[in-house]
Each structure stands twice: as C-alpha cells, then as structure tokens.
C-alpha cells in the first residue's frame, strides 16, 4: 500500500542548510525592505544587493528543501491534491492566508514560501507582445502601458539568463530576440504528433519557452521529464527563485526573514514609509525599519496589505488616493479542451505544463466577435489518480463503463489550454473580508470577480478552434471546459502603473505616486494582462524598477 510516511511533514519543513536564514540579523535600518520572497521580490533583491544596497526581505512562508518535494513520494498524487494543492484554501498551511473566493468566477492560486509560486508553477515563460502594451491605441480598449516592449527587452534577457530559459529563436509570432541560453525541451512523441496537426492546418505553433533546464545550467541538473513539475522540482531543473536569484542575493548580503508575516507598512509623519510591522511564528510583533519598501506580495497579497495599512496620511489604505488599490483585478481565463488520441499512449511522459504554444489567435481580428486574443498551451496527460479525477473535466464515470472510460483517457490525453487576455474592469476587486482571517487574525482578502462577455466569447472561440486541431490529430473523444474555475494562477492589475496619479497607483518605474519611497513590483502593476503567462514580464518590470532605484535613488542608500 502506498501511504504517506509519518515523516512527510517533517521532511517538508527541513530548511536548506546552505542557505538557511531564519533568525539572521538584519541591519537596524535596511535600505530596502522587500515584502515577499517570490518571483519579483527575489529579482529586486539580487539586483539591488549587486548595486550595494542593504536588503531585508520579510517572507511569511519558509524554505523548502527540494529533495523532499512530493514527486519523490509514492503517494505524490494524493499529496498534490491536499498538502501541495495549488489552492491555499485547500492546502491550508498556517503560513497561507485564506481567500474568500465565493463571489469569484475564478479561484486564485498561490504559494507562500521562499520562491513563492515559482515553487509550484509549470515555468512556461513566453514574453508579452509589443501590442500588449498598446491596447488602447491599437484596439480602443482599456489603457496603454506607460512603458513599451522595447523598454523591457533587456530585462527580459537578463531574467532569462538568471532563471535559465530553454527555447529557440525564429518564431514568426513574436519579435526577433536574443538567443535563449539553452535549446528547447524535446517535444516528445506527443508534441511532434500535435505539431504535425498544426502544420497540416497551416496554424502557428512553436516550442514553448520554459524556465526548465534542457541541459545542465548554472549548477542545476537538466530535466529528466518526470512529468508533474507543478509540485516542485527535486532536481532544481525547473527554475524557482529559491534556487537561483535568492542564493545569489544572499551571497551578496541580502537577508530573508522567514515566517515573518507583515501586518502593516508603517508610515512617518511625512506620509512616507518607515518600514513594516510583522508577526513571527509565535505571534510576537516586530518592526523592521527601512528607507524604502518594495511590495512583492502578488496581485492579491499586495493590495490586501496596502488596504490593511491605513494611517492619517493614507486613510483609505496606503497609496490609495486614486481609489484604485484592489481594483481592476485580472486573471487569465483558461478554457480547457482535451482530446483523447488513440495513436498516443504515454502522454504522461515529459513536463506536464508546456509542450508547445500556438499564437495563431493572439492578436485582434475584426472578423471575430471579441477584441484581443488568446494563446494555446499544450498540456500533457497525468498519472492514474489525476486521470480518474478528470483534471479540468468531469471525473471518470463510476459504475458500469468505469474501466472503459478510464482506458480511453489514460495515456491518451492532450489538452489545449486556451489562455485569454482578460481586460481590466474596476468592479473586479480585492477587498478585506469582514469575517475571514488568517492564522494570525489578520483580515483575509475577498475576491469579487466576474468574467466579461468579451472573455466568454474568446474562450468559446478557443474551444472551437482547439476541437479542430484535436480532430486533425486523430482524437476520438473531446471534452471541453469553457472556464477553468480553479485556474487563477495569474494575479494582476490591482495597483496598476500609469502616468496619471488619479488613474494609477505607481509610475512607470513602479514608484508609488503617493509615497516616493514605496515601490510595487509584482503583477499588481499590470495595466493589461496580455494572453501569456506573466512571470517573465513581472520579473523584467521588477529588474527595471531595481535599476531605477540603483541609478536614480541614491537617497535610499544608507
């Protein structure tokens, strides 16, 4: 029998000894206080320690030892559904905060740890298109960004080198760019089969960019194609910031305080930030003083903390003179279309998340009944339990016909995940829940989110087109889910950037309009969402903001 050993929980809490930093002393007043040790906070920490700033990061989670992730366990699928669930409400670790998502069409996913959600992401890392930054000008919707693709291009490159990007140049759907440091992950038999179907239709496809090593890179192993990359990578082949940015930043002097839950950004009489109050594991309150605060707590955690940080100078929450903190929440809606292809028999082999990508329907086409567009990510099948439970679809039927249903799906599934551009709407919000709290008694966030009609039409289109591809590939059965409710991986827009302080929270350098020593560098600052995974873009934005601080804000260095 394959049951969890009693030591699983203990093993998961082992702190990586070479980089353990809990309890490490920080300078009394840090130059830079970063809230959150995930994708963007790590990038800023590395860049600013390089530039000679003293950096302290407060992280409510802990270090995880990659050697003990679920994929080394016999019962990895059960752990993935419970202790390692992507949904904090289902996972329920004490360092997670719950989210009231009862009035949201999509449930948010996140992970509290050093490395943040890069621990459990699938590391699919395409870039935004130039058009994504100019949707108002091009299509008359939402707003343009105050920066351009070209502004971010060098930072995309820098991030690709630090995180480690596998991929190949020549994609006709995107602008020319510098080479990736590693060749692409092999497509596998299933990927080549699907690529041929796209080719026969004359539709675009290209091998996915992945922050997964196709060859050994910077001391980390190459991927061995085990499959479930979403539960952490024991080989460190999948990039996460606990194994790349943070070790470098710590070597340069950065300090991370783990199990440090920030309850408030503190404000001086001049209305500027003075640091943050935080609670340790025992519930003791501490204050970390700082010359500057960098918010990197994701598109829900950051507005939550800003709304919790009320003061005389900021009565509606910190940085909220525009009233836009917590508004314009964007997810990427996912429509999942799965085909079962008899010619394929082992679609569990290889990274689950991203075989190849199609951007055939990415840009606005006036002949369609929606504006903007979507991309496809090709996902593989999964292990026996996840197959039986249906993944994005109905579970395998119980009773008569059970085994036939299972056999038709297992090893034969390929999913076209349609990821759509979600446009900002002010009624989609993050607020503070009046009853629900985290394990420290702090208010939990409440999400109000309704998918727009434009996005619904876009997702319907993606199902029709995916069905065409899957039929071309020989699928004998196709299942479709027009909106994956549990698909809120990407949290964006809740403290957006702009030139006008009345219509935005931060400027193009991520500096707050209301307090010049507070910066926001996570997905909160996105003006629009694009139709690709946001992490390379938010990390590029974070690195750019760090360079602005390094070059223009010497006053923040003690």
Partner 1 sequence: MPTTDRQLTDVDRVVLTRVMDLIIPSTGDFPGAGGLGLAERLERASMRYGRLRSGLLTVLDAMSLDIASRIEGGFAALDEERQIAAIASVESDLPIQFSEFVELVYETYYTDSRVYEHIGWADRPPQPEGFDLKPWDPTILEKIRNREPFWREVS
Binders of partner 1 among residues 383 to 402 (CB under 8 A) are 383-385, 387-389, 395-396, 398-400, 402
Options 103, 192, 502, 554; binder of partner 1; rule CB under 8 A: 192
* Alpha-helical runs (H) found in 93-148: 135-139
Q: Facing residues of 39 across strands?
A: none
Please report where in the chains the tokens 């590395």 appear, as a residue. 46
CB of 231 to partner 1, least distance (A): 9
Q: Any contact of residue 75 with partner 1 (CB under 8 A)?
A: yes
Q: What is the phi/psi pair of residue 525, to 5°? A: -85, -5
How far is it, in rounded angstroms, from Cα 280 to Cα 467?
51
Measured between alpha carbons, how far is 421 from 415 in angstroms, rounded to an integer?
19
Nearer of residues 46 and 386 to partner 1, judged by Cβ: 386
Q: Residue 494's closest CA among 509, 508, 510, 505? A: 505
Largest CA distance in the chain: 72
Could you say which of 12, 36, 43, 77 contacts partner 1 (CB under 8 A)?
77
Q: Coil, strand, or helix at residue 162?
A: helix
Q: With respect to partner 1, which residue has the nearer C-beta, 134 or 485?
A: 134
- Smaller CB distance to partner 1: residue 137 or 471? 137
Strands (E) in 66-138, as ranges, are 100-104
Q: What is the closest distance, in whole angstroms, from the C-beta atom of residue 387 to partner 1 in the complex? A: 8
| Residue showing tokens 């809230």 | 35
Residue numbers 26-45 binding partner 1 by CB under 8 A: none
Among candidate residues 114, 147, 124, the one with its CA nearest the CA of residue 526: 147
d(CA 303, CA 297) in angstroms, rounded, equals 9
Instruction: Find the binding residues for partner 1 in span 112-151 (CB under 8 A).
Output: 129-131, 133-134, 137-138, 148-149
Rg of the chain over CA atoms, in angstroms?
22
Site for partner 1 in 448-507 (CB under 8 A): none
Q: How far is the CB of 172 from partner 1 (least distance, A)?
A: 5
Q: How far is the CB of 176 from partner 1 (least distance, A)?
A: 8
Near partner 1 in 233-252, by CB under 8 A: 234-235
CB of 372 closer than 8 Å to CB of 136: no
**Rounded to the nearest 5°, which phi and psi values hold at 9?**
-65, -40
> How far, CA to CA in Å, does 214 sit from each of 189, 224, 246?
17, 9, 22
Minimum gap (Å) between residue 368 Cβ and partner 1: 15
Count residues binding partner 1 (CB under 8 A).
75
Task: Tell me which of 180, 204, 238, 412 binds partner 1, using CB under 8 A.
Answer: 204
287 contributes a contact to partner 1 by CB under 8 A: no
Kind plus residue range of the DSSP H or E element containing 456:
helix 453-472
The residue among 416, 537, 544, 525 whose CA lies nearest residue 125 is 537
Interface residue with partner 1 among 64, 410, 509, 519 (CB under 8 A) is 410
Residue 500 beta carbon to partner 1: minimum distance, rounded to whole angstroms: 21
- Residue 73 found at the interface with partner 1 (CB under 8 A): yes
User: Taking a C-beta distance cutoff of 8 angstroms, is the pair 529, 421 a contact?
Assistant: yes
**Span interacting with partner 1, options 32-40, 403-411, 422-430, 529-537, rule CB under 8 A:** 403-411
Q: Which of 89, 70, 96 is nearest to 486 (CA)?
A: 89
Alpha-carbon separation of residue 353 from 120, 204, 409 (angstroms): 11, 19, 18
Residue 387 in contact with residue 351, Cβ under 8 Å? no
Q: Give least dist CB 419 to partner 1, A.
A: 17
If we measure between CA atoms, which residue out of 388, 381, 368 comes closest to residue 416?
381
The single residue among 86, 111, 155, 206 that binds partner 1, judged by CB under 8 A, is: 206
In this structure, the strands spanning 100-104 and 443-449 are parallel
Q: Using CB under 8 A, which residues numbered 330 to 349 contact partner 1?
A: 348-349
Could you tell me the smallest distance in angstroms from the CB atom of residue 513 to partner 1?
A: 26
Asked whether position 2 contacts partner 1 by CB under 8 A, the answer is yes
Minimal distance in Å, beta carbon 191 to partner 1?
9
Binding residue for partner 1, selected from 103, 199, 499, 555, defined by CB under 8 A: 199
Q: Which one of the spans 53-61, 70-78, 440-448, 549-557 is the region binding partner 1 (CB under 8 A)?
A: 70-78
Laid out side by side, the sheet with 334-340 consists of 206-207, 356-358, 374-379, 413-420, 334-340, 477-481
- Our finding on whether 23 is near partner 1 (CB under 8 A) is no
**In the bound complex, what is the minimum distance in angstroms from residue 55's beta carbon to partner 1?**
33
DSSP label of 211: S
* Position 228 contacts partner 1 (CB under 8 A): yes
For the record, the structure tokens of 80 come out as 């993935």
Nearer to partner 1, 269 or 398 (CB): 398
Tell me if 65 contacts partner 1 by CB under 8 A: no
Q: C-beta of 70: minimal distance to partner 1 in Å?
A: 8
Using CB under 8 A as the binding rule, the residues of this chain from 150 to 189 that contact partner 1 are: 168, 170, 172-175, 183-189
283 lines the binding site for partner 1 (CB under 8 A)? no
Site for partner 1 in 81-110 (CB under 8 A): 81-82
Name which position in 36, 41, 164, 227 contacts partner 1 (CB under 8 A): 227
User: Considering only 115-123, 192-200, 425-433, 498-506, which stretch makes contact with partner 1 by CB under 8 A?
Assistant: 192-200
Question: How many residues are listed for the chain in this entry?
Answer: 558
Tell which positions 300-319 bind partner 1, by CB under 8 A.
none
Contact 137, 154 (CB under 8 A): no
- Rounded distance between C-alpha atoms, residue 8 and residue 93, angstroms: 14
Q: Which stretch binds partner 1 (CB under 8 A): 104-112, 205-213, 263-271, 470-478?
A: 205-213
Q: Which string of b and e fits 249-276 if b means at least 16 CB within 10 Å?
A: bbebebbbbbbbbbbbbbbeeeebbbbb
Among 74, 102, 450, 471, indicate the residue that binds partner 1 (CB under 8 A). Answer: 74
């Amino acid at each position: 029998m394959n049951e969890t050993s009693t030591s699983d929980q203990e093993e998961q809490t082992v702190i990586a000894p070479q980089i353990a930093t809990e309890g490490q002393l920080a300078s009394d007043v840090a130059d830079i206080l970063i809230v959150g040790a995930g994708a963007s906070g790590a990038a800023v920490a590395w860049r600013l320690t390089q530039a000679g700033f003293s950096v302290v990061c407060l992280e409510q989670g802990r270090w995880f030892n990659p050697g003990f992730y679920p994929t080394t366990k016999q019962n990895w699928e059960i752990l993935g559904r419970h202790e390692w669930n992507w949904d904090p409400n289902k996972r329920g670790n004490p360092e997670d905060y719950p989210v009231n998502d009862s009035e949201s069409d999509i449930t948010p996913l996140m992970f509290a740890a050093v490395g943040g959600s890069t621990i459990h992401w699938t590391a699919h890392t395409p870039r935004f298109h130039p058009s994504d930054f100019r949707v108002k000008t091009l299509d008359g919707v939402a707003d343009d960004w105050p920066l351009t693709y070209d502004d971010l291009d060098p930072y995309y490159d820098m991030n690709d080198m630090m995180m480690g990007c596998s991929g190949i140049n020549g994609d006709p759907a995107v602008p020319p760019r510098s080479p990736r440091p590693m060749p692409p992950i092999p497509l596998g038999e299933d990927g080549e089969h699907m690529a041929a179907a796209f080719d026969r239709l004359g539709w675009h496809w290209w091998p996915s960019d992945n922050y997964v090593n196709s060859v050994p890179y910077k001391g980390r192993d190459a991927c061995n194609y085990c499959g479930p990359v979403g539960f952490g990578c024991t080989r460190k082949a999948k990039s996460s910031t606990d194994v790349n940015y943070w070790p470098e930043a710590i070597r340069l002097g950065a300090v991370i305080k783990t199990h440090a839950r920030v309850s408030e950004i503190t404000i001086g009489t001049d209305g500027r930030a003075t640091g943050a109050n935080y609670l340790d594991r025992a519930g003791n309150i501490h204050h970390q003083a700082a010359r500057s605060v960098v918010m990197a707590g994701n598109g829900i955690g950051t507005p939550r903390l800003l709304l919790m940080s009320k003061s005389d100078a900021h009565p509606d929450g910190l940085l909220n003179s525009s009233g836009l903190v917590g508004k314009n929440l964007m997810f990427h809606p996912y429509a999942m279309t799965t085909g079962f292809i008899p010619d394929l028999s082992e679609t569990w082999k290889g990274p689950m998340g991203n075989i190849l990508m199609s951007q055939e329907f990415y840009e606005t086409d006036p002949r369609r009944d929606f504006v903007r567009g979507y991309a496809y990510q090709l996902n593989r099948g999964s292990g026996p339990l996840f197959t039986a439970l249906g993944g994005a679809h109905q579970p395998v039927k119980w009773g008569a016909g059970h085994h036939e249903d299972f056999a038709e799906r297992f090893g034969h599934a390929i999913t076209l995940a349609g990821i759509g551009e979600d446009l900002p709407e002010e009624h989609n919000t993050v607020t503070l829940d009046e009853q629900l709290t985290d394990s420290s008694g702090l208010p939990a966030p409440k999400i109000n989110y309704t998918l727009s009609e434009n996005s619904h039409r876009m997702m319907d289109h993606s199902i029709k087109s995916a069905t065409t591809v899957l039929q071309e590939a020989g699928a004998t059965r196709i299942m479709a889910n027009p909106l994956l409710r549990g698909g809120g991986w990407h949290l964006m827009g809740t403290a957006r950037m702009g030139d006008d302080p009345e219509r935005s929270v931060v400027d193009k350098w991520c500096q707050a309009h209301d307090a010049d020593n507070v910066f926001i560098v996570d997905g909160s600052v996105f003006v629009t969402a694009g139709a690709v995974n946001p992490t390379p873009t938010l990390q590029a934005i974070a690195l750019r903001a760090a360079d602005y601080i390094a070059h223009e804000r010497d006053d923040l260095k003690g």
